[in-house]
Amino acid sequence: MSSVRDQRYMNNVETTGAAPVLRHSAEPSLTALQLAAGSLVSQAIYVAARLGIADLLAEAPRSAEFLAVATSSKESSLYRLLRTLASVGVFTDTGDKVFANTPVSEALLSDRPDSIKDLVIWLGDPEHWKVYGGLNESVRTGKPAWEMVHGEPVFSYLFETNKELGGVFNRAMTSLSKQVIPAVLASYDFSGYGVIADIAGGHGHLLAAILQNNPQAKGILFDLRPVLDGAQKTVEEYGVSERIDFVSGDMMNEIPVKADAYILKHIIHDWPDETNKMILGNLRRSMPDGAKLLIMDAVIPEGNAPHPGKIIDMEMLVAPGGVERTAAEYEHLLAGAGFRLTRIINTASLVSIIEAEKA
């Protein structure tokens, strides 16, 4: 790049902390290119997470040479990867090819309670990543690209065909739950409920945390039997195993659970309206009068307002075939299933709490 072009580029850059950011008003073509190249940054972060670079930098800055030896990588290639990530604020180059963590890269530390390392590894895993190559077909047809790429729906593929990738997915969902749990506990009062049921609640992290903070309550964890088998250890770690009943079943067929509050976390966004009406109908048939339904998913703002849920909506489109919804869309969906939306509570996380009751 010539010196004239160098200056033109730098005139279009503003510095925020360690990372240069293109001004959207300066050179639209450069801004568009930066956004389009975001996939390269995503894969670079994935590789750094897989290699455990943040963990290697936890105690002190390290040279590219040290990191290459520790990760069995080619030094020159690893340096280029880290230089790229440092340019967007993930790690920082302290000079002489020595790198250190930043607040952003510290989110990739394995031992942090709010670590997103497993979530990043899920997003960048080759078997998951290649599904995004089918986004065009998903947009054109409205069908999940996952089935076109892998030949079967996402959940059967993860839990029957490719159980190794299913393990990656489970760890990622546990990571996501750990982001959500403190925000939910800070935003919603569970003290009035005697029995709380988590429907398709996975390994029970959310339910166990709620019970830990609400000693008056008992819990029911409802999910498929293989999932519940993996939940026993989790609830024991929270010290609430004696207050949780495990009920196995398929929410698509029946939800034979009686409770005062029913949680559906990251469930409704997985499915189109017709499937959700069936799930909600199954729940409603068992639900006592006066019980509350608590849907925990992103609520998408109208218009051009930025929201991470708008990006995650692309994952819903290409993988399970679900959708992230606006408040109006939730109200419409709930009404069609015999519920009345009572309120929406925003939290300090990706999810909001959509509270409803029988209409």
CA distance 312 to 28: 25
Alpha carbon of 108 to those of 42, 53, 57, 247: distances in Å?
13, 9, 11, 35
- At 62 the pLDDT is 98
pLDDT band per the 50, 70, 90 thresholds, residue 230: confident
DSSP-based three-state secondary structure for 271: coil
DSSP code, position 248:
E
- Give yes or no for residue 4 having a pLDDT over 60: no
- At 104 the pLDDT is 97
pLDDT band per the 50, 70, 90 thresholds, residue 27: confident
DSSP-based three-state secondary structure for 300: coil
Mean local confidence (pLDDT), 317-329: 97
Query: CATH assignment of 3-110, given 2.40.50.140, 1.10.3720.10, 1.10.10.10, 1.10.30.50?
Result: 1.10.10.10
Mean local confidence (pLDDT), 189-211: 96
Task: Judge contact between 15 and 8, C-beta under 8 A.
Answer: no
Tokens describing residue 179? 């982001």
pLDDT band per the 50, 70, 90 thresholds, residue 22: very low
- At 177 the pLDDT is 87
For residue 94, what is the enclosing H or E element?
strand 92-95
The distance of Cα 56 from the centroid of its chain, to the nearest Å, equals 25
Note the pLDDT tens digit of each residue in 55-64: 999 999 999 9
Q: Edge-to-edge strand order for the sheet containing 244-248?
A: 244-248, 218-223, 195-199, 261-265, 292-297, 352-358, 339-346
Cβ contacts of 31 within 8 Å, gap of 6 or more: 22, 23, 24
Task: Judge contact between 208 and 184, C-beta under 8 A.
Answer: no
Listed by start position, the domains of the chain span 3-110, 126-358
Of the listed ranges 25-29, 65-69, 266-270, 308-312, the one predicted with least confidence: 25-29
- At 113 the pLDDT is 86
Tell me the percentage of the chain whose pLDDT exceeds 90. 84
Place of tokens 């077909």: 137
- At 24 the pLDDT is 52
What does residue 30 show for φ and ψ, rounded to 5 degrees? -70, -40
pLDDT band per the 50, 70, 90 thresholds, residue 18: very low
- At 162 the pLDDT is 96
Annotated catalytic, 269? yes
Task: Judge contact between 320 and 144, C-beta under 8 A.
Answer: yes
- Give yes or no for residue 12 having a pLDDT over 70: no
Q: Where are the alpha helices (DSSP H) in the chain?
A: 3-11, 28-36, 38-51, 53-56, 64-71, 75-87, 117-124, 126-129, 135-141, 145-150, 154-156, 163-187, 205-213, 225-229, 232-238, 273-286, 308-318, 327-336
Q: Which one from 150, 269, 307, 332 is the annotated catalytic residue? A: 269
Nearest by Cα to 327 from 306, 287, 355, 350 = 355
Average pLDDT, the chain: 92
Residue-wise DSSP of 199-228: ET-TT-HHHHHHHHH-TT-EEEEEE-HHHH
Tell me the percentage of the chain whose pLDDT exceeds 70. 93
- Give yes or no for residue 19 having a pLDDT over 60: no
CB atoms within 10 A of CB 345: 16
CA distance 197 to 205: 13
- At 331 the pLDDT is 98
- At 183 the pLDDT is 95
CA distance 46 to 245: 38
The distance of Cα 178 from the centroid of its chain, to the nearest Å, equals 10
Note the pLDDT tens digit of each residue in 265-300: 999 999 999 999 999 999 999 999 999 999 999 999
- Give yes or no for residue 15 having a pLDDT over 90: no
Mean local confidence (pLDDT), 292-319: 95
Note the pLDDT tens digit of each residue in 96-124: 999 999 999 999 999 998 899 999 999 99
pLDDT band per the 50, 70, 90 thresholds, residue 139: very high
Higher-confidence position of 263 and 11? 263
Domain 126-358 matching CATH 3.40.50.720: the answer reads no
DSSP code, position 288:
P
Q: 112 exposed, middle or buried (CB, 10 Å; 0-12, 13-18, 19+)? A: middle
